[in-house]
Structure 1
Amino acid sequence: MISIRYAVRTAPRSLFRSSASSSLRPLSCVSKPCFLQSSWTPVQRQSHPAFSTSISKREPAGEFDQELSAKLENELSLEKETRDSKQLPPGVQEFLDNSSFELKDIPGNEEVILTKKFGDETVKVKFSIADMNYEQDGDQEDGENALEDEDLFDDTTPQRGGAQSKGTVNQGRTPDGNINVAPEDSVAPADRPELADSEDAGAGEQAQSPAYPAAVHVTISKPGKGAVQIVTSAQDGLIIIENVYYYPKAEIAEAETPESDFARANIYAGPPFQNLDPELQSMLERYLDERGINEQLASFVPDYVDHKEQREYVQWLENMKRFVDA
């Protein structure tokens, strides 16, 4: 009896287990329609190398590159034909040969330094070609202003009756009312013979030395005693003193750092040189003269500035042309 009951009770469970086991088959055993199988197929990606060995294409040169290069070449030829930028002028070479100053001129830099020893002192002279460019810009502006002034007073009203013949020399007026002009009156003042000699003399004086002032900074330092810096200008063969500074530490006068600039700005600069006692001015001038800050240096500085500016300009043209052609 028990066996029959057991068989009846256990029969549904075995049937349930068999049906459950058949329903829990893995998905891989279940057949899938064709359209589902194709949609789940992974797409194969094409692999590419991480780098390429093909030559990259360069952009074409600018439209005016060749014209600019030709212009630079033309300027170079003119500058080299006018003057040899590598050869020192005779006056400059003579000063360097006879002076105890040592020259430090780094190509590409605007500043030039002269140094020498005077006892236990170190004398350093600094000047720059930037002063020459500044003066040329100022002269150009003055010339443009002068041309504008001439245009304001230019009489554009044409003369009636035309030019007169040489036979009618200051003989009253023409029938149209114009005054007869003598031949000598029709010559421009700048073209008259009596002014030619004075113009030639003036041109000779201008050709001797540049007229622009060149700023010259002189620093005289002693070990452990600070330094004196004298701001001067070299012009027309003279050293003109403008200001005299004293610094308790030499590095303050010579260092080019923001801290040194701030320290120099806060130090008492002293009165302007022209406000000093005339005798004191004369003694300071002799003080510089003993250390080689004299008329020879005043003539050397503008000449060397002119030479260096020419040399740097030629080098600048070469660098620009090389860059444009690259």
Structure 2
Amino acid sequence: MSAYWSTGVDLPNLQQPALARLTDFVTPLAHVFFLRHMAMPEIDRATWRLAVGGLVQYELSLSLADLEAMPQTEVCAVHECAGHPLHPTVPVRRVANVVWRGVRLSEVLKQACVSPAARFVWSYGADGGDYHGIDIPAYVKDMPVSELHGGEAMLATHMNSEPLSDKHGGPVRLVVPGFYGTNSTKWLVRLALSDTRSPGYFTTVMYNDRVVKDGIEQLSPVWRVAPHAVMVQPSEHARLTSGSQKIVGWAWGADAITRVEVSTDEGTRWADAQLDARNDHAWQRFEFEWSPPSSGTYQLRCRAFDSTGLGQPEHGVRNAVFSISVTVE
């Protein structure tokens, strides 16, 4: 599966990817989505280097061999696309659950001795070029230094035990568990520590939600993953036989999901599903037993709530309540 964000994207098609294929806890590489904003860069892995600078005591220039010589770590984490940056309220439900392997970002920054004045890490990709008529010198994102305290952000070199492919951002990409995929910069070539946010186009214009606070509209960075749940069984437009049915899906968010509810009558009534506990930053499986009272067409819905009490809105946001239509014969 591939996609390229452009003005020609068919948004209705983006709303309903083949979620029915995502039945494995760890998503097979063949089913992991990949996206790019500009042309994919060509990188020579033998000569690739990562520059680390800005508000640091020691500037670094690291090769793949340098990274491989450092302590390695793994994390199983949900990888979710935030959606089309020009249409941020359209749910696209592009998601996977993968095992990343690489070096903790904190290990690299420890070598550089980050200044106490640093508040943000800017990450630069090797990709650049035209984006809807805007000349982008390089794809740049940022993240708060405070998010490094958990120690799970990493410079990933492997996905599901395989070397990170070119299309998925290899040889090295930044991975920030709990943040939307747009923040996990692909084709990583530079890190810069700063006391301010990056002025880059994808931090100041794209990937910002408009929120009203105290009557004033403000831009809110698209960073932390909002609670989300989808059904993978049954699939959209499935034709089911009468009798007991099993509704199965995945739920995830930056914070652990503590409750998933399912409705089989277009949202009139909701009931709790059985929910697995979270490991690492992985998604959580939920299951719901349903006995349709009669034949006919049913709209099934699911929604998740996280440990902070945050849930999924009905509509108008990227994590709007998920629904499918099925027919019981």
- Structure number with the higher helix fraction is 1
TM-score by length of 1: 0.20
TM-score by length of 2: 0.20
- Structure number with the higher strand fraction is 2
1 or 2 for the larger relative contact order (CA 8 Å, sep ≥6)? 1
Larger Rg: 1
